[in-house]
Amino acid sequence: MDEELLRRFEALGIHRGFPLKGNTENHTSRMMQGIETAIPTGKFLEERLHSVFLLEHIYRSGYLHGKISLEINPEAPIYAGFINSESIVSHTQLLFLDVETSSLSPGSGTLVFLVGLGYWTSEGYHTHQVFLNEPGDELSFLAYLDDLLGRYPVLVTFNGLAFDLPILNQRFLVNGIRSEILKKHHLDVLKLARRLWRKRYPSRRLAFLEQEVLGFARSEEEIPSWMVPEIYVHYLMQGETQHLPGVFYHNEMDILSLAGLFLYIENLLHNPRSWNNLSAGEIYGLITEMERQNRNTENLIAFLNTMLKDFKDQESEPSESAHLLLTAGRIFKRYGMLSQALHCWEKAAQRESIDACLELSRHYERNQSDLVSALAWVDRAIKILDAHPGPSHKGRFSMLSQRRLRLLTLMGKGRQSNAT
């Protein structure tokens, strides 16, 4: 066992439950019996000399994770904007990944002891959990994982680039394995969730989103993530197996919820016409994501046209609706659809958007040479600003005042020119 890890255990007051002195074969046998008793549906791989313990499940047609079905055509291509790849990527090429570690803080003594994997085949959605029963088996454990990871070109995680992948790669390096894990295509669902729900929900944690978005509630088997390292440490030191099923359950639910959120977001990006019941903040997140990816433009424009005909604030704050309409207007303008852009900005201005007033002022000045209307929209912006003073009030007031003065100057010059 890693001496640094052992010292950390002892500092926590955790001591060996199975003495390694004398009879290591008996110790190994007892550890194997412990995990097999705790997880009776799991198994050790004989071809790996019983050093790799697996738990596998298949979620077939009809399974609902909350309100989301995980049933798909696995050969269908994923949403093209998810990754930068010249070739088409199907759902069978995705590998969902989530790790559990012996400490919540990454470090050279932190072990990856449980890796949850998820993937689609014609049979359904598979969960494949790989458990490190003893630290001395880590090399075999990691070699098995590296072989599995090598079969999939795209990894899907939840905050994986910040935690899961670096710490797993660190263990590969410590054990002399040159893994390609950091070179693979990677999709981080957390980044998508932040763009989509940063204004809608107070938290973007996976456990929170699975309840609010997927409608999924975990059972009493669930173990809080902060308890997971302590449970594994006690298993190693004292042979306690009581809470190990809860750890496996926690990890498997993460893998299922990760797939569920992935499909939910993918469906929204594929079908903008299904956004009618979303909040303005969610729609804003989706259209900016589609704009960023430069994909599905025809469907996006079709949806924005439909939205404009019957726009409702729904559950949104007026400021969120105004921000959405402002952005929609800029998208319409980018594609040469000026009348729709003006309509959006007028609706945003009704919701007290200063930026929308400025867009309208610029339009009337530059495109129609209507300085009177341009000035009227600047005055409207100043009125909104005065009604809602804030930290940026002084700077924005200065900018608006300068624009107002410039328009008045142009109007004065125009009168002189007409007089002569």
Which residue segments constitute the domains of the chain, with CATH numbers given?
A: 3-269 (3.30.420.10), 278-419 (1.25.40.10)
Q: Which helix (H) or strand (E) holds 121?
A: strand 112-121
In the structure encoding, which two tokens stand for residue 260, read together?
């569920």
Residue 392: strand, helix, or coil: coil
pLDDT along the chain (420 residues), means of 10: 53 44 54 87 84 95 95 94 86 98 82 97 97 94 96 96 94 94 95 87 91 95 94 92 96 98 92 79 84 75 81 71 92 93 95 96 95 96 91 91 95 73
Residue 77 is classified by DSSP as: B
Q: Which residues are bridge partners to 370 per DSSP? A: none
Is the Cβ–Cβ distance between 344 and 363 less than 8 Å?
Answer: no
Q: Which amino acid is at 383?
A: K
According to the model, what pLDDT value does residue 15 have? 44
The Cα 160–Cα 310 span in angstroms is 40
CA atoms within 13 A on the CB side of 132: 29
Is the Cβ–Cβ distance between 157 and 132 less than 8 Å?
Answer: no
Q: What b/e string do you get for 308-331 counting C-beta neighbours within 10 Å, with b at 16 or more?
A: beebeeeebeeebbbbbbbbbbbb
In what side-by-side order are the strands of the sheet with 43-44?
43-44, 53-59, 124-131, 112-121, 94-101, 154-157, 185-188
Say if pTM beats, i.e. exceeds, 0.85: no
Question: At a CB cut-off of 8 Å and minimum separation 6, what does 62 contact?
Answer: 71
Is the Cβ–Cβ distance between 69 and 63 less than 8 Å?
Answer: yes
Ramachandran angles phi, psi of 64, nearest 5°: -115, 130
Is the Cβ–Cβ distance between 112 and 99 less than 8 Å?
Answer: yes
